Amino acid sequence: MIYLPKLIDDPRQEILRQAKIIIVNDGFKGLNMRAVAKECSFAVGTIYNYFPTKDHLLAQLMADYWEEYYEVLENIDEEALDLLPKLRKMYEQLEIFLNTFLETWLQMNREPHYQHSKAGFKRKEDFTEKLILKMKRIIEQENIMGCDLISFEVTTYEISKFIISNFLMMAQMKQFDYNSFEKILRALIKR
């Protein structure tokens, strides 16, 4: 009997899909190349053809997940909401997003090898910058609509960076309530 190899339209996407399921179900510790290969019904070598190390696989998972979040932001931005409700909705979605991989990020941050990954750090910086620029555009759009946004001299980029940095900190650390943050924003915004 002749066995033909399993044909998958997009093996790379299948690897990423199964790896994401493993992380959600089993956490960071459960993710390894053998587990992914088993779930995909691939040889381990096939996984390594697409992702030479677990680091590469994790970096791609995180990049894909950030892109998914950015698409959610685009949809929120298109909604007809005032600035503060829009920011709240953006934060709530970020919190949901971060909670999905929180254990994985915490575990990665505990391991020196992952803390100093230049590629991972660069991707994080790039995506954070993309979020800041998105926020800047939203704030500038709000200004165009006729409100004096900030009650002291600061650029829209600086306030955008402040908002995104605080979103990330609040969603990860859970030590500061969004309602308190919104009070600060209200004090900054002239209406």
111-158 pLDDT, tens digit per residue, is 665 554 566 667 778 888 999 999 988 888 876 555 555 556 778 888
Domains and CATH numbers, the chain: 1-52 (1.10.10.60), 59-188 (1.10.357)
pLDDT of residue 28 exceeding 80, the answer is no
- The C-alpha angle with vertex 85 and arms to 191 and 165, in degrees rounded to 5, equals 95
Tens of pLDDT along 72-88? 999 999 998 888 999 99
- Please spell the DSSP secondary structure of the chain, one letter per residue: -PPPPPP-S-HHHHHHHHHHHHHHHHHHHH--HHHHHHHHT--HHHHHHH-SSHHHHHHHHHHHHHHHHHHHHHHHHHS---HHHHHHHHHHHHHHHHHHHHHHHHHHHHSHHHHT-HHHHHHHHHHHHHHHHHHHHHHHHHHHTT---BSSS--HHHHHHHHHHHHHHHHHH--S-HHHHHHHHHHHB--
Tell which wins on pLDDT, 95 or 173: 95
Q: Which pTM does this prediction carry?
A: 0.74
Tens of pLDDT along 179-188? 999 998 888 7
Per-residue b/e over 103-114, b at no fewer than 16 CB within 10 Å?
ebbeebeeeeeb
Query: What is the C-alpha to C-alpha distance for residues 92 and 167, in angstroms, rounded to an integer?
Result: 9
Tens of pLDDT along 40-74? 999 999 999 999 988 888 888 888 888 888 999 99
Query: What is the C-alpha to C-alpha distance for residues 94 and 59, in angstroms, rounded to an integer?
Result: 18
What does the block give as tokens for 93? 């979605």
* Among candidate residues 106, 118, 149, the one with its CA nearest the CA of residue 55: 118
Q: Which residues contact 23 (CB under 8 A, 6 or more apart)?
A: 30, 31, 61, 101, 104
pLDDT band at 189 (very low <50, low <70, confident <90, very high): confident
pLDDT band at 3 (very low <50, low <70, confident <90, very high): very low
